[in-house]
Amino acid sequence: MAAGLRKLPGMPPSISFARGAPSLDIIDVDGLSAAATRAFANDPAGATAYGTSVGYLPLRRWIAERHGVDEAQVLVTNGSMQADAFLFDELVGVGDEVIVERPTYDRTLLALGQRGAKVHAVALEPDGIDTRALAELIEQGARPKLAHIIPTFQNPAGYTLSLPKRQALLGLAAEHGFTIFEDDPYVALRFSGETVPSMLSLDEGANVVYACSFSKTVCPGIRVGYLVGDAGLIAKIAKRATSTYISPNMVAQAIVHEFCVAGALERSIETVKAALGERADTLAAAVERELPGASFVKPEGGYFMWVTLPPGVEAAALVTASAQRGVVVLPGTDFMLDGGTDALRLAYSGVSPAQIDAGVALIGEAARAVAGAAA
Ligand SMILES: Cc1ncc(COP(=O)(O)O)c(C=O)c1O
């Protein structure tokens, strides 16, 4: 058995590269606990009241300042998933055309499918969505209302949209009248390379709605995310939020606010980035060693690495063979409407370097078994 595995009686050892979630060791539990104490001490009325549908006002103000926008442009939600759902409900009806990246976040595909959208999946390249292909699609008659883009350390590929492509996308949105939904929960987690400005900050019209989250920088269980956009649109979504839940979780938002103003957020981001950088290095080296013939782009931040498998190794078979060895991985097919049979998404956010080495060794063993059986 590979070193570093936890053997449970009667069960195969389990290492999961499946979930986009952090391991407990990179969550500042003590800092959160202290922030909770301060939240109740400093603002008991605000933290315990229903509050308003736009979110806990001091946190809303803090976010607005961080993005250099007016407070009226910010709505704080229960996780950015809730922000996504409100935005889709506001902008996407049955038959509306929506651009997504190929591959993209599986929950986006689900949410758009549930709303009856007509989804156009445009190829994702290592420097982001193929903007030329998008322009051609529009020339051929596509009339998108919305483009859902995960610009930084994309889920599932780990790629980042380049500055020229951000500008090209903004140009297309202005010219053809569609909204860019910039879904950016991983932006703070860069451990190498150069920062790229958000499309929200580059936008000269009101063509961008931006979503971000504290799930990846604080912890996912806190369920705090937010939207930034045109004040008129945010006001409409705030009405929708009122009728959905009166207000989001004020206790959680008051805790996040205390965590942020105390400087704990910046410290937490440094901890998370250092761990992710080490894990990405370990993962890239392990995949090179154990999966010869596979290809990938080493991530510069975020949680995910997309691996195109060696010829002759099919993702579904490899997922099964890896599971039999106690390693959980997701096939590329989960992130596309079609295709993806030659790829895996590996999430390295929840595994230690020792687990990565051990897990990838088992995936390598599984790949050899699959290739042997296919031959
Ligand atoms: C691209 C993308 N958007 C949104 C979310 C949802 O994040 P939250 O935990 O803030 O709801 C995720 C979480 O994995 C994500 O990867």
Closest C-alpha residue for ligand 1 atom 13: 20
- Our answer on whether the CB atom of 179 is closer than 6 Å to any ligand 1 atom is no
What's the gap in Å between 185 CA and the centre of ligand 1? 6
- Our answer on whether the CB atom of 151 is closer than 6 Å to any ligand 1 atom is no
- Our answer on whether the CB atom of 156 is closer than 6 Å to any ligand 1 atom is no
User: Counting atoms of ligand 1 from 1, which one is nearest the CA of 82?
Assistant: 11
Which of 86, 100, 105 most suits a substitution to test ligand 1, by most atoms within 8 Å of the C-beta?
Answer: 105
**Alpha carbon distance 319, 109 (integer Å):** 21
C-beta neighbour count of 270 within 10 angstroms: 11
Cis status of the peptide bond prior to 156, with omega within 30 of 0: yes
What's the gap in Å between 81 CA and the centre of ligand 1? 6
What's the gap in Å between 150 CA and the centre of ligand 1? 10
User: Counting atoms of ligand 1 from 1, which one is nearest the CA of 225?
Assistant: 10
Q: Are strands 295-296 and 15-16 parallel, antiparallel or unpaired?
A: unpaired
Tell me, letter by letter, the H, E, C secondary structure of 23-80. Answer: CHHHCCHHHHHHHHHHHHHHCHHHHHCCCCCCCCHHHHHHHHHHHCCCHHHEEEECHH
- Our answer on whether the CB atom of 217 is closer than 6 Å to any ligand 1 atom is no
- Our answer on whether the CB atom of 184 is closer than 6 Å to any ligand 1 atom is no
Which of 215, 218, 306, 334 most suits a substitution to test ligand 1, by most atoms within 8 Å of the C-beta?
Answer: 215
- Our answer on whether the CB atom of 213 is closer than 6 Å to any ligand 1 atom is yes
What's the gap in Å between 82 CA and the centre of ligand 1? 9
> According to the model, what pLDDT value does residue 1 have?
38
Surface-to-core class of residue 296, CB atoms within 10 Å of its CB (0-12 exposed, 13-18 middle, 19+ buried): buried
Answer for the pair 219, 32: CB distance below 8 angstroms, yes or no.
Answer: yes
- Our answer on whether the CB atom of 105 is closer than 6 Å to any ligand 1 atom is yes
Digits of tens for pLDDT over the chain (375 positions)? 344 444 445 555 699 999 999 999 999 999 999 999 999 999 999 999 999 999 999 999 999 999 999 999 999 999 999 999 999 999 999 999 999 999 999 999 999 999 999 999 999 999 999 999 999 999 999 999 999 999 999 999 999 999 999 999 999 999 999 999 999 999 999 999 999 999 999 999 899 999 999 999 999 999 999 999 999 999 999 999 999 999 999 999 999 999 999 999 999 999 999 999 999 999 999 999 999 999 999 999 999 999 999 999 999 999 999 999 999 999 999 999 999 999 999 999 999 999 999 999 999 999 999 998 877
**Residue linked to tokens 């190498």:** 192
**Residue linked to tokens 């051990």:** 358
What's the gap in Å between 10 CA and the centre of ligand 1? 35
> According to the model, what pLDDT value does residue 310 have?
95
> According to the model, what pLDDT value does residue 2 have?
41
Which one, of 64, 73, 49, lies nearest residue 250 by Cα?
Answer: 49
> According to the model, what pLDDT value does residue 242 have?
98
Which one, of 373, 323, 324, 372, lies nearest residue 344 by Cα?
Answer: 323
Closest C-alpha residue for ligand 1 atom 16: 155
Helix 250-261, helix 29-42: angle, nearest 10: 110
> According to the model, what pLDDT value does residue 5 have?
46
Backbone angles phi, psi at 351, to 5 degrees: -125, 145
